[in-house]
A and B are shown apart, each in its own frame.
Chain A
Amino acid sequence: MSTMSLEPVPGRSDEMIVNMGPQHPATHGVLRVVLGLEGERITRAVPHIGYLHRNHEKIEEARTYPMVIPYTDRMDYVSGTQNELPFVLAVEDMLGIEVPDRAKKIRTMFFELYRLASHLVWMGTAMLDLGAISPFLYTFWDREIILGIVEKTAGARMLPNYYTFGGVRRDVHPDFFKDVADFLDHMERRMVDYEHLVLESPVVHARTIGVGVLSKERAVARGVSGPVLRASGVAYDVRKAFPYDAYPDVEFEIPTSPDGDTYARFWVRFQEMYQSIRILRQLVELTPKTGPYKGKAPARIKPPAGERYRAVENSRGELGVLVVSDGTDKPYRVKHRGAAFSNLQIVPDLFEGAKFSDAIAILASLDPVFGEIDR
């Protein structure tokens, strides 16, 4: 966060300095971008973040390992349990905890349910930014069903604190698999509507095709990951590259697009939703209905001294965590690698030279979540 504004360039009296945010609805939270505008065209853009900063990393150093899990929930608040997984995996690695197969599958099911929920929120808010209100209402309607399924099992909707070392906290609700199967049927019908309303809409085409093109090399060098990277033509997905949990057991594809523009990012997220539905369909079949949901974990979690980096592919990209242990029951250092944090770095690259109204579409396609960026 900074109170800094842009210095006017000497001799450029036609440039106007505009503050976009932090309370701008199109910034998806509290992003402030200082823009230099020349008419409609953006000449300079400086993003300022930190308005939602809580310093999770310091708090987590003062908590024991099991206590850290609910804190990680509060980073990327639209994708719930996804945030817990890197930390849980890292500690499991350090301690050598075995996770039962069924627990892995349950974890993966929640992971993919939250990916659908997160992409639904993205779709609604992105369309809201482009001026369409109905998709927002519909996507939240569908997301409500996902959160209802999660709440029945985990007890909370957005911040469920459900994963634990060695598995999950409690067994799934008896109706869980039926609920998920019903929801997938429902979701498949809805996806047809969303294709009509979003991907096939001429308004979306006009606002997004050819806007904010991100080249492959630039995307990789900037550390961009997730759908934004795949929309630039790099097939990097942590689920395939460094498989974790039940992903080796299921079949899915990594959708990529060579275009790298805003429409490609929209398109890739759509295809990911289809892939999520596909993964969930397989898991509903594959997961045993009863069985162990938690492996043997020591009562006091005390990893040996050392460090471990683990990453997962959350809805926004590579969400990693570096856990440094000094052998006590509190982590010595927890460093989160935020996917949205890395992705937001390309804002100056993409904004410069774009029109102001395109900036809104570009930002929507990056899908930032400020709980995670500001941590």
Chain B
Amino acid sequence: MEARMKQERLYDEDVYTVHPEDYRALCERLAGEGYDFPRAISGIDMGYGLRVTLQLTRMKDLAKVTVRTDVPYDNPVVPSVTDLWPGVEWYEREAYDMLGLRFEGHPDLRRILLEDEWALHPLLKRYDTGGYPVPGWEPKPWPDPEPWAPPPPPEPEEAGEADEGGEAS
């Protein structure tokens, strides 16, 4: 598991980027460490796939963490964490509604803001603000090194940017 996780410090938060298969295990570990206040789950369309960003606070000492995981467009399945933090229930529904992320194990995964019959997931970058396909939109190749690849040891500062560089390429 260690090889498939990147840990960095961004401003005042610990940021973990993990492989989707390890996402659930990491969340369970964090819940065990006392992170009890779920701030939000955000879905982000990265251009090569979809990113889930889970943000947590520990009420005891106000430590903040962010957990990120990237999934491909053709199989956007992420394990749900509603049983660990019931407060993310609506945020997971919102991410499903807006980006089509499917949270496995969510008790009631329906659209939340749009109608049940709505045809598309509007926050995907392949649609413009009017809901029409963006001409010439193509998914980018999966970043290499992978987003959760740990940075090479000598220059941790530089490697922290590697993730963003991969997204821009």
A residues adjacent to B (C-beta < 8 A): 1-4, 49-50, 53, 55, 57-59, 61-62, 93, 220-225, 234, 236, 241-242, 305-309, 311, 318, 320, 322, 324, 326-327, 332-333, 335, 337, 341-342, 344-345, 374-375
Beta-carbon contact of B114 and A50 below 8 Å:
yes
B36, CB-defined interface residue at 8 Å: yes
Which residue in B40, B87, B98 is a CB contact (below 8 Å) of A322?
B40
Q: Write out the residue numbers on chain A whose beta carbons fall within 8 Å of the beta carbon of B128.
A: 62
Beta-carbon contact of A234 and B59 below 8 Å:
yes
Beta-carbon contact of B168 and A53 below 8 Å:
no
Closest chain B residue, CB of each to CB of A318: B39
Closest chain B residue, CB of each to CB of A345: B90
Beta-carbon contact of A309 and B44 below 8 Å:
no
Beta-carbon contact of A308 and B11 below 8 Å:
yes
> How far, in angstroms, from A308 to B13 measured CA to CA in the complex?
10
Q: Write out the residue numbers on chain A whose beta carbons fall within 8 Å of the beta carbon of B90.
A: 341-342, 344-345
> How far, in angstroms, from A53 to B115 measured CA to CA in the complex?
10
Chain B count of residues within 8 A CB distance of the other chain? 39
Which residue in B42, B89, B115, B129 is a CB contact (below 8 Å) of A58?
B129
Q: Write out the residue numbers on chain B whose beta carbons fall within 8 Å of the beta carbon of A337.
A: 39-40, 55
Q: Write out the residue numbers on chain B whose beta carbons fall within 8 Å of the beta carbon of A58.
A: 122-123, 129
> How far, in angstroms, from A57 to B91 measured CA to CA in the complex?
14
Minimal beta-carbon separation of B14 from chain A (angstroms): 12
Bitwise interface map of B from 99 to 127 toward A, beta carbon under 8 Å scored 1, else 0: 00000000000111111100000110000
Which residue in B45, B62, B87 is a CB contact (below 8 Å) of A223?
B87
**Given A223-B85, A327-B168, A342-B87, are A50 and B116 also a contact pair (CB < 8 Å)?**
no
> How far, in angstroms, from A332 to B39 measured CA to CA in the complex?
20
Beta-carbon contact of B55 and A309 below 8 Å:
yes
* 27 cross-chain CB contacts under 8 A: A1-B112, A2-B115, A4-B116, A50-B111, A50-B112, A58-B122, A61-B123, A62-B128, A220-B37, A222-B86, A223-B88, A224-B87, A305-B167, A305-B168, A306-B164, A308-B10, A308-B11, A320-B39, A320-B40, A322-B55, A326-B164, A337-B39, A337-B40, A341-B90, A342-B40, A374-B113, A375-B113
Q: Write out the residue numbers on chain B whose beta carbons fall within 8 Å of the beta carbon of A225.
A: 37
> How far, in angstroms, from A337 to B42 measured CA to CA in the complex?
9
Beta-carbon contact of A333 and B42 below 8 Å:
yes
Beta-carbon contact of B44 and A221 below 8 Å:
no
Minimal beta-carbon separation of A255 from chain B (angstroms): 17
B80, CB-defined interface residue at 8 Å: no
Beta-carbon contact of A309 and B123 below 8 Å:
no
Taking A55-B122, A223-B37, A322-B53 as given, write out 5 further A-B residue pairs in contact, using a Cβ cutoff of 8 Å, ordered by the A residue number: A57-B98, A308-B11, A309-B13, A311-B39, A335-B40
B residues adjacent to A (C-beta < 8 A): 10-13, 36-40, 42, 44-45, 53, 55, 59, 62, 66, 85-90, 98, 110-116, 122-123, 128-129, 161, 164, 167-168
Q: Write out the residue numbers on chain B whose beta carbons fall within 8 Å of the beta carbon of A320.
A: 39-40, 55
Beta-carbon contact of A1 and B42 below 8 Å:
no
Q: Write out the residue numbers on chain B whose beta carbons fall within 8 Å of the beta carbon of A220.
A: 36-37, 59
Among B39, B40, B98, B123, find the residue whose CB has the most chain A CB atoms closer than 10 A: B40
Q: Write out the residue numbers on chain A whose beta carbons fall within 8 Å of the beta carbon of B36.
A: 220-221
Closest chain A residue, CB of each to CB of B131: A58
Q: Write out the residue numbers on chain B whose beta carbons fall within 8 Å of the beta carbon of A221.
A: 36, 38, 85-87
> How far, in angstroms, from A62 to B123 measured CA to CA in the complex?
11
Beta-carbon contact of B129 and A59 below 8 Å:
yes
> How far, in angstroms, from A247 to B53 measured CA to CA in the complex?
29
Minimal beta-carbon separation of A352 from chain B (angstroms): 14
Minimal beta-carbon separation of A370 from chain B (angstroms): 11
> How far, in angstroms, from A318 to B64 measured CA to CA in the complex?
14
Q: Write out the residue numbers on chain B whose beta carbons fall within 8 Å of the beta carbon of A305.
A: 161, 164, 167-168
Among A50, A59, A311, find the residue whose CB has the most chain B CB atoms closer than 10 A: A50
Minimal beta-carbon separation of A54 from chain B (angstroms): 10
Minimal beta-carbon separation of A167 from chain B (angstroms): 21
Minimal beta-carbon separation of B112 from chain A (angstroms): 6
> How far, in angstroms, from A55 to B131 measured CA to CA in the complex?
11
Beta-carbon contact of B13 and A1 below 8 Å:
no
Q: Write out the residue numbers on chain A whose beta carbons fall within 8 Å of the beta carbon of B44.
A: 324, 332-333, 335
Q: Write out the residue numbers on chain B whose beta carbons fall within 8 Å of the beta carbon of A59.
A: 129
Beta-carbon contact of A53 and B13 below 8 Å:
no
Among A3, A58, A224, find the residue whose CB has the most chain B CB atoms closer than 10 A: A58
Q: Write out the residue numbers on chain A whose beta carbons fall within 8 Å of the beta carbon of B113.
A: 1, 49-50, 53, 55, 374-375
Closest chain B residue, CB of each to CB of A304: B164
> How far, in angstroms, from A3 to B36 measured CA to CA in the complex?
33
Minimal beta-carbon separation of A229 from chain B (angstroms): 9
> How far, in angstroms, from A3 to B164 measured CA to CA in the complex?
41
> How far, in angstroms, from A221 to B89 measured CA to CA in the complex?
11
Closest chain B residue, CB of each to CB of A234: B59
Beta-carbon contact of A322 and B42 below 8 Å:
yes
